[in-house]
């Protein structure tokens, strides 16, 4: 099959602003060939589910050729599909079907590092004198043989690994099998931009850029200073990881990245209506970096930081502080918000482990997420209210969890297979006797087949609320103003042109009476929440919400 052209529907260069993006972890979405692992044909078969949900786009985690030491985030060939997931033809068929359903396709581009099995690294490590000798970050040891500086790997231990062939250390911010590319080298930049064009030629509508702030390192390899204990934050790495003990001034977040992002954006501009969202992996300077990377309309269209992926329970104060901090740091920028993804504990568990009415809690969290100013990422299974799975040590696959067990159990608990049919083998995910990760019983009983068409289900709530959101442009692209920021009460308006929509939330397990802002408000319908009005205040049940339009 020849390369696909761009989407056949009319291009809208601004489609990403306020888009709802559904994240697919391909290993766990749908298995089409019975090997217990999801694949591209499986994704294609399930695209109608995403269309029915009402998402504007999908983001597919890596499916490139890889030894799978980090499950695709260790790429050994940027321009091919790993046989585990299918073929280029399968990708072309998938993108064609997505576009037929008016779903944009974004793919996960991992260009801060490669697999150590990538042909670039194989050549680079073969000698100190070869055509790619400077394509990775190599350094001589200190006189005593120790690594060149104190930089740490997110996966634990030193970020430097000794190579006996070159008699040098190479940098790896993640696994030792994930050497960092030397983006200071223009040839490396050209190579990753060529890979970007390859997928643009196949018709993708955009990219999610993994670890975007890790692209460049300090040329002088200066030591990171220590971070005061009171400033340590566990959102970049688990609390048991000494990575949090450093102020990461030199191993990432370098100013040279801004010029490269301009080069990357220029490639996107060669094609119609392409967008990119960057993952800023930094709990210390995240919003500041987001502001830099989204400024000027010549770098990223949008970025997301870790504020809403943090372990601390969501509160009205956190919502308001995060939005205000983003507006201050990135006045020209646009955020992309997520409550869950493939790297963190699912938010229904992370924030609601002690909540009695888990379904009501999940519905309220969805309403808060989908009324934020910014674009939205929904992680597969979130629309079913799936909780974090408890994976036994013998079933663990994630090297991160294996390294820090039992204090940190890794990321497998949020990566278990999607559940489609409670009555089918492996909940409809696979016909295999064993899947790559086990499927919890508590997930299977909440499968799509159980919730589909059930008006009070979490799935139908997501479908209903996405439709409600689309019906009110202020919720998609509008500005934001806060009115009530209490311990559990939250109220804000979203404004666009002549429409102002009021959003009021009771973020507690007890009924609440919340006064409305001044003015006349007409209650809106179609969102699925119930409330009563009295004396310019709204009476909300536990985990309740109210929406109105300014009269």
Mind giving me the DSSP string for 469-525?
HHH-HHHHH-EEEEEEE-SSEEEEEEEETTEEEEEEEE-SSS-EEEEPPSS-EEE--
Q: Of 467, 501, 536, which one is at a domain's C-terminal end?
A: 467
**110-124, 220-234, 345-359, 477-491, range with the lowest pLDDT:** 220-234
* Least confident segment among 194-198, 201-205, 310-314: 310-314
Mark whether 517 and 424 lie in a shared domain: no
Does one domain contain both 493 and 463? no
d(CA 105, CA 115): 24
Check if the beta carbon of residue 267 is closer than 8 Å to that of residue 195: no
Contacts of 26 (CB under 8 A, 6+ apart): 38, 39, 40, 42, 43, 60, 61, 62, 63, 72, 85
216 and 310 within one domain: yes
Please indicate, yes or no, whether residues 446 and 485 belong to a single structural domain of this protein. Answer: no
Mean pLDDT (whole number) for 364-381: 98
- At 341, list the tokens: 């993804």
pLDDT (0 to 100) of residue 332 = 86
Give yes or no for residue 3 having a pLDDT over 80: no
Distance CA 91, CA 202 (A): 9
Which one of 419, 442, 467 terminates a domain?
Answer: 467
Domain presence at residue 472: no
- Specify whether 417 is located in the same domain as 537: no
The number of beta carbons lying within 10 Å of the beta carbon of residue 231 is 11
Residues 416 and 514 in one domain: no
- The token pair at 223 is 């030591």
Q: Residue 545 is part of which domain span?
A: 479-550
Phi and psi of 496, rounded to 5°? -155, 125
Do 47 and 195 fall within a single domain?
A: yes
397 and 300 within one domain:
yes
User: Is the per-residue pLDDT at 100 higher than 70?
Assistant: yes
Give the integer Cα–Cα distance in Å for 121 and 304: 30
pLDDT tens sequence across 119-155: 999 999 999 999 999 999 999 999 999 999 999 999 9
Question: Catalytic positions, please?
Answer: 210, 270
Task: Classify residue 10 by burial, with Cβ atoms within 10 Å: 0-12, 13-18, 19+.
Answer: exposed
Q: What is the pLDDT of residue 234?
A: 56
Asked whether residue 243 falls in the same domain as residue 340, the answer is yes
Reply yes or no on whether the pLDDT at 1 is more than 80: no
Query: Does residue 125 belong to any structural domain of this protein?
Result: no
| Phi, psi of 303, deg, nearest 5 | -140, 165
Q: Is a pLDDT exceeding 60 seen at residue 8?
A: no
The CATH number of whichever domain residue 506 belongs to comes to 2.60.40.1180
The stretches of 133-207 forming alpha helices (DSSP H) are 186-201
Is the separation of the CB atoms in 200 and 193 below 8 Å?
no
Domain count, the chain: 2
pLDDT of residue 122: 98
Report yes or no on 181 lying in a domain. Answer: no
> How many Cα atoms sit within 13 Å of 275 on the Cβ side?
27
Q: Which residue has better confidence, 408 or 269? A: 269
Assess whether 488 and 455 both reside in one domain.
no
- Partnered with residue 180 across adjacent β-strands are 113
**Cis status, amide bond into 406, omega within 30 of 0:** yes
| Secondary structure, 3-state, 371-386 | CCCCEEEEECCHHHCC
Average of per-residue pLDDT across 499-515: 98
**500 part of a folded domain:** yes
Cα→Cα distances 205→271, 299, 532, Å: 9, 16, 43
Question: Given this model, what pLDDT does residue 5 score?
Answer: 43
Return the residue matching tokens 């209490």.
486
Domain membership flag for residue 376:
yes
526 pLDDT higher than 60:
yes
pLDDT surpassing 50 at residue 241: yes
CATH number at residue 396: 3.20.20.80
53-56 long-range CB contacts below 8 Å, 24 or more apart?
53/22, 53/378, 53/383, 53/462, 53/463, 53/466, 54/20, 54/462, 54/463, 54/466, 54/467, 54/470, 55/20, 55/21, 55/22, 55/103, 55/378, 55/466, 56/15, 56/19, 56/20, 56/21, 56/103, 56/104
Query: Tokens 């949008």 appear where?
Result: 302
Cβ neighbour number for residue 477 with a 10 Å cutoff = 17
Instruction: Answer whether residue 143 is part of any domain.
Output: no
Q: Is the pLDDT of residue 2 over 60?
A: no
One domain for residues 378 and 509: no
Cα 449 from Cα 453, distance rounded (Å): 9
pLDDT at 6: 45
Of 432, 467, 502, the last residue of a domain is 467
d(CA 139, CA 158): 14
The mean predicted confidence, pLDDT, of the chain is 95
Mean pLDDT of 290-299: 94
Confidence of residue 551 (pLDDT cuts 50, 70, 90): confident
Mean pLDDT within 476-481: 98
Let me know: does 154 contact 241? Beta carbons within 8 Å. yes
298 and 402 housed in the same domain: yes
Q: How far apart are the first and last CA of the chain?
A: 55
Half-sphere exposure at residue 20, Cβ-oriented, CA atoms within 13 angstroms: 28
Asked if residue 164 is part of any domain, the answer here is no
Q: What does the alpha-carbon distance between residue 234 and residue 56 come to, in Å, rounded to a whole number?
A: 32
Do the beta carbons of residue 178 and residue 64 sit within 8 Å? no
Q: Within a domain: residue 119?
A: no
What is the band of 13 on the pLDDT scale with cuts at 50, 70, 90? Answer: very high
pTM, 2 dp: 0.96
Burial of 129 (0-12, 13-18, 19+ CB in 10 A): exposed
Higher pLDDT, 355 or 4: 355
Helix, strand, or coil here: 273?
Answer: coil
Q: Which two tokens stand for residue 205?
A: 């509508």
- Residue 180 CA to residue 89 CA, distance in Å, equals 30
């Amino acid at each position: 099959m020849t390369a696909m052209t761009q989407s056949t529907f009319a291009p809208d260069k601004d489609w990403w602003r306020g888009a709802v993006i559904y994240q697919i972890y391909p290993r766990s979405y749908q298995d089409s060939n019975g090997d217990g692992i999801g694949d591209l044909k499986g994704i294609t078969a399930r695209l109608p589910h995403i269309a029915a949900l009402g998402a504007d786009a999908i983001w597919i985690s890596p499916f490139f050729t890889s030894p799978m030491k980090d499950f695709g985030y260790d790429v050994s060939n940027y321009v091919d599909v790993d046989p585990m997931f299918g073929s280029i033809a399968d990708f072309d068929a998938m993108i064609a079907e997505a576009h037929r359903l008016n779903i944009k396709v974004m793919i996960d581009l991992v260009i801060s590092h490669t697999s150590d099995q990538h042909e670039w690294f194989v050549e680079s490590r073969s000698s100190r004198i070869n055509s790619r000798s400077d394509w990775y970050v190599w350094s001589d040891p200190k006189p005593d043989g120790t690594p060149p500086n104190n930089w740490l790997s997110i996966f634990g231990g030193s970020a430097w690994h000794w190579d006996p062939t070159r008699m040098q250390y190479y940098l790896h911010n993640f696994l030792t099998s994930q050497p960092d590319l030397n983006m200071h080298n223009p040839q490396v930049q050209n190579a990753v931009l060529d890979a970007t064009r390859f997928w643009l030629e196949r018709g993708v509508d955009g990219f999610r850029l993994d670890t975007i702030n890790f692209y460049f390192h300090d040329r002088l390899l200066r030591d990171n200073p220590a971070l005061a204990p009171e400033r340590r934050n566990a959102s970049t790495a688990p609390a048991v990881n000494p990575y949090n003990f450093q102020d990461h001034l030199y191993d990432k977040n370098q100013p040279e990245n801004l010029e490269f992002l301009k080069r990357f954006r220029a490639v996107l501009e060669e094609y119609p209506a392409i967008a990119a969202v960057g993952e800023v992996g930094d709990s210390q300077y995240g919003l500041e970096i987001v502001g830099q990377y989204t400024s000027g309309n010549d770098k990223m269209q949008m970025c997301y930081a870790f504020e809403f992926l943090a372990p601390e329970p969501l509160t009205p104060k956190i919502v308001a502080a995060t939005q205000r901090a983003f507006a201050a740091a990135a006045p020209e920028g646009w955020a992309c918000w997520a409550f869950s993804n493939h790297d963190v504990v699912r938010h229904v568990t992370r924030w609601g482990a002690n909540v009695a009415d888990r379904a009501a809690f999940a519905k309220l969290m969805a309403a808060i997420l989908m009324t934020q100013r910014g674009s939205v990422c929904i992680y597969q299974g979130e629309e079913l209210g799936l909780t974090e799975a408890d994976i036994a040590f013998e079933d663990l696959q994630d090297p991160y969890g294996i390294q820090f067990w039992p204090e940190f159990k890794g990321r497998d608990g949020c990566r278990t297979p999607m559940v489609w049919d409670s009555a089918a083998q492996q909940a409809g995910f696979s016909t295999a006797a064993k899947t790559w990760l086990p499927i919890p019983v508590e997930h299977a009983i909440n499968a799509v087949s159980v919730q589909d068409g059930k008006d009070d289900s979490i799935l139908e709530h997501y479908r209903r609320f996405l439709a409600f959101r689309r019906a009110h442009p202020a919720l998609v692209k509008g500005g934001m103003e806060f009115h009530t920021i209490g311990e559990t009460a939250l109220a804000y308006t979203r404004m666009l042109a002549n429409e102002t929509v009021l959003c009021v939330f009771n973020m507690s397990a007890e009924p609440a009476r919340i006064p409305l802002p001044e003015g006349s408000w007409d209650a809106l319908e179609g969102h699925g929440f119930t409330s009563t009005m009295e004396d310019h205040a709204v009476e909300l049940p536990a985990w309740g919400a109210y929406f109105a339009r300014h009269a």
